[in-house]
Structure 1
Amino acid sequence: MHADERTRAWLVLLRTPGLGPGGLRARLADAGGDVLAALARLRRPGAGLDEPARAWLERPDEARLAADLAWLAAPGHRLLRCDEADFPPQLDALAQPPAALFVAGDAALLLRPQVAVVGARGASPAGLAHAKRFARALALAGYVVTSGMADGIDGAAHAAALDAGAPTVAVVGTGPDRVYPRKHQELARRIAAQGALVSEFPPGTAARADHFPRRNRIIAGLSLGTLVVEAGLQSGSLITARLAGEEGREVFALPGSIDNPLARGCHRLIRDGARLVEEPAEVSEALAPAARAQGGVLAARLAEEEPSAGAAAPATWRDDPDYRALLDALGHEPAGLDELAGRTGLSAPALSSMLLMLELEGAVAGLPGNRYQRLPG
């Protein structure tokens, strides 16, 4: 019952008009991290809230809260809160971090090294082909491909990762129960089943123009780097890239023909300091040091706190039977992915992901030629 009361308190605060993620985090900090105390303080006279917020807190819409709780009660659904040990630490570093995320699927994927692949909605056939090629290769290299489930480049990147047997993360500008655009109903179902569908907005929230810049900051914040495949000068992808750069993350851009309007946004990014890339390996190699650093931060954070239900603590991954089988299959000599797939029966995407995690933990070293060596210890 107490857990239900706390979840309800979170939902009330997340829906409080004008409070926002920054205000919620500040009020939670003032209350010593106790969400029930934060809610009680906000309901007192002189809490500094405007009339819509006061009205909501005095008489919240019980039907909406019941619908939120019903959504959370469904299998695979979760409210991932900023006070939990497995909340993505890379989001805490944002200038405007979210207070909580609604997740359908595997929330542990948000702790994995991610690469954002974004671009134009009205992408060219060549742009879509590039997005698929890069997304597939990055997924097979062990990175989680993250995007916004929009039409065009976003959708192509998600589908390519899924088709490669790898997970993908979609951050959306609607509630987690809405699909926008509607044509992506099946894609959204696949993402939730094989990856994670993420939203800062409560269930039932419709698409609004101002939601998408907010979504873009989370895409940029989750990812070690952002790859822009095609973008016009007014593309929302440039917002994601700008936010990534402001947060100190890598920005990559594919060059294109000077006659292609959808190349101009990428060319502007390159002039402004983005890395020009032509092959997926250039992206994965550039991000490898950041991936190792992220793994160290995460391991330290989870070592300080007891992980909440559903948390994926790196220290336990090597105790998993598949990880043990992989380490045994590595033996004492370097081996390639094909050899390891034959020895373990695991797919190449699964092996790439596991090897990246083991490399972050210092159990495995990556060698030239896509080969791996088990390290002592």
Structure 2
Amino acid sequence: MTEQELEAWLMLSFTPYLGEKRLSRLRSIDSLVNIVQYKPQNLQAIGFKTKQIEYLKHQALADVEPCLKWAQQHNHHIITPFDTHYPPLLKEIPSHPPVLFVKGNSSCLGDPQIAMVGSRNASLEGRQTAKSFAKEFSNQGLIVTSGLALGIDGYAHDGALEGSGETVAVLGSGLDNIYPARHRKLAERIIDKGALVSEFRPSAKPRPENFPRRNRIISGLSVGVLVVEAAEKSGSLITARYANEQGRDVFAMPGSIHNPNSRGGNSLIKAGACLVQSAQDVLSEIETLVNWSIDHQPNLFDMVEEEEELLFPLLLANVGIEVTPVDILAQRTHIPVHEVMMQLLELELSGHVVAVTGGYIRKRRG
């Protein structure tokens, strides 16, 4: 992309509720450089809403210019799906991010990765296990990917850094706002031997709704997801659900039925996740997938044709086998409640979800 094309792509990417599929359709209408210069009536003619037009004409450039300036700094990168460094596995998932901001080694994002996630309030045993497993994965040539959170995430990153490989941290904030603050030094170590990644512009502050969204990137970058410790209602289970939707392997460590932080992992195993007792259990299971990803096979995880045709893949990815209320779906997807309800109606009519007491569940389709 030329600088002018990147500017136009960012302006449109930041436009509210203009998803990746809409962006792709716009490119078939005209060059993006031309589209951002359209008059309001022309933008309206190709489907832009009033608020989108107002943003594009009055605010977008002011948001984009600091990002372009940020990218001029050493080891700072802006990656789009048109760049060779855009991770090929991530590009396979529905609603892949239209832009990635990266600090560190952007080329490592295309290398084989294993995601490790778990409780922020992990036990001492869980933290030690995460660190030792990550170190072994790293020594075996796998990049360990996680979310820089307290607990399991932090220990997984630390273990990978002690090994011989690299680690990737996906943030729910902009890269100039490291969260949690106590992991700033860890983030600096990761930049030296891996990468920090975010779909949010560098100045973005951490917001609760950002973290479920970033989990799809953690799983999307990886050939599999290992849940070390997780409570029944845990962000780690959101990552596992994304992994399942994306066709990735899900692994979980068993734990005591009396430990609240083991209930999530035990439930995953009960639902079909691979039970893990050693790092070798994971390495043996994903060996073939890792070999394929090293070869950068473009269709490593072919999406079912039905999924490719879905109008609302982001929303559908957040509807699982447990009842999910509409307001929770709106919070996870960052889509207004009224639009969520309209999309759910279409998905219900097409047979993909079912309305039940308390919300919606996903319908299994053979």
Cα 1:281/1:172, change in 2 over 3 Å: same
1:183 alignment partner in structure 2: 182
Q: Which amino acid aligns with 1:239?
A: I
Closer/same/farther in 2, CA of residues 41 and 241 from structure 1, 3 Å limit? farther
Give the superposed CA RMSD. Answer: 2.0
Q: What's 2:213 paired with?
A: 214
| Cα pair 2:80 2:86 within 8 Å, conserved | yes
Give the partner amino acid of 2:253: L
The 10-residue stretch of structure 1 (154-163 or 222-231) with the greater mean CA deviation from structure 2 = 154-163
What is the distance in 2 between the residues matched to 1:35 and 1:123?
47
The residue identity in structure 1 corresponding to 2:117 is V
Question: Aligned ranges for residues 40-79 of structure 1 at < 5 Å?
Answer: 40=37, 44=42, 45-79=44-78
Distance 1:188 1:37, change over 3 A: same
Contact 2:131–2:155 (Cα < 8 Å) also in 1: yes
Residue 199 of structure 1: aligned partner: 198
Provide Cα deviations, 1:34-84, integer angstroms capped at 9, x if missing partner: 432453469624232222210121123544323111211111111111112
Letter in structure 2 aligned against 1:296: D
Q: Structure 1 residues 194, 297: closer, same or farther in 2, change over 3 A?
A: closer
CA spacing shift, 1:88–1:61, aligned 2, 3 Å: closer
Q: Could you say which residue in structure 2 is the equivalent of 1:248? A: 247
- Cα pair distance change 1:42/1:103, threshold 3 Å: farther
Residue 32 of structure 2 is matched in structure 1 by 35
Higher relative contact order (CA 8 A, sep 6+): 1
Counterpart of 1:93?
Answer: 92
Query: 1:29 deviation in Å?
Result: 4.7
SS at match of 1:73: coil
- After the TM superposition, which of the residue ranges 80-89 and 190-199 deviates more from structure 2? 80-89
Mapped contact 1:22–1:99 kept (Cα < 8 A):
no
Q: Taking structure 1 as reference, are residues 38 and 273 closer, same or farther at Cα in structure 2, changes over 3 Å only? A: farther
The one-letter amino acid paired with 2:36 is L
Q: Provide structure 2 residue ranges, at least 5 long, that are not aligned to the other structure.
A: 301-366
- TM-score normalised to structure 2 length: 0.77
- CA deviation profile, 1:181-239 (whole Å, cap 9, x unmatched): 11111111111221110011112111112211210001111100000000000010001
- In structure 2, C-alpha distance between the alignment counterparts of 1:133 and 1:158, rounded to whole Å: 11
Distance (Å, rounded) in 1 between the aligned partners of 2:105 and 2:85: 12
Q: What CA distance in whole angstroms lies between the structure 2 residues aligned with 1:300 and 1:237?
A: 26
For the pair shown, the structure with the greater C-alpha radius of gyration is 1
1:281-340 Cα offsets, whole Å, 9 max, x none, are 111121110112223335899xxxxxxxxxxxxxxxxxxxxxxxxxxxxxxxxxxxxxxx
User: Could you say which residue in structure 2 is the equivalent of 1:153?
Assistant: 152
How does 1:102-141 map onto structure 2 within 5 Å?
A: 102-141=101-140
Q: Is the 8 A contact 1:231 1:264 kept in 2?
A: yes
2:19 counterpart residue number: 20
Instruction: Identify if the C-alpha distance between structure 1 residues 278 and 104 changes in structure 2 by more than 3 Å, giving closer, same or farther.
Output: same
User: Structure 1 residues 19, 194: closer, same or farther in 2, change over 3 A?
Assistant: same
What is the rounded CA distance, in whole Å, between the counterparts of 2:247 and 2:124 in structure 1? 31
Deviation by residue 1:79-128 (Cα, 9 ceiling, x = unmatched): 11111233212112212211121111111111100000000011111110
Greater alpha carbon shift after TM alignment, 39-48 vs 176-185: 39-48
Task: Tell me which amino acid in the other structure corresponds to 1:223.
Answer: S
Q: Distance in 2 between matches of 1:212 and 1:189?
A: 21
Say whether residues 1:273 and 2:272 are aligned partners: yes
- Say whether the 8 Å CA contact 1:116–1:146 is kept in structure 2: yes
Could you tell me whether the CA contact under 8 Å between 1:149 and 1:158 is conserved in 2?
A: yes
Q: For 1:184 and 1:199, how far apart are their aligned partners in 2?
A: 16
Q: Distance in 1 between matches of 2:39 and 2:163?
A: 48
Paired AA for residue 191 in structure 1: I
1:283: which partner in 2? 282
Change (3 A) 1:26 1:187: farther
Equivalent residues, number = 298
3-state SS of 1:208 partner: coil
**Distance change >3 Å, CA 56–CA 77, structure 1 → 2:** same
8 Å CA contact retained: 2:15, 2:60: no
The DSSP-based 3-state class of the residue aligned with 1:297 is coil
Alpha-carbon distance between aligned partners in 2 of 1:29 and 1:136, rounded to the nearest angstrom: 46
**Residue 261 of structure 1 pairs with residue 260 of structure 2:** yes
TM (norm. structure 1) is: 0.75
User: Contact (CA 8 Å) 1:136, 1:161: kept in 2 or not?
Assistant: yes
Shift of 1:243: 0.8
How is 1:255-334 mapped onto 2 (pairs within 5 angstroms)? 255-298=254-297
Q: Distance in 2 between matches of 1:268 and 1:235?
A: 12
Q: Which amino acid aligns with 2:266?
A: H
Cα pair distance change 1:288/1:37, threshold 3 Å: farther
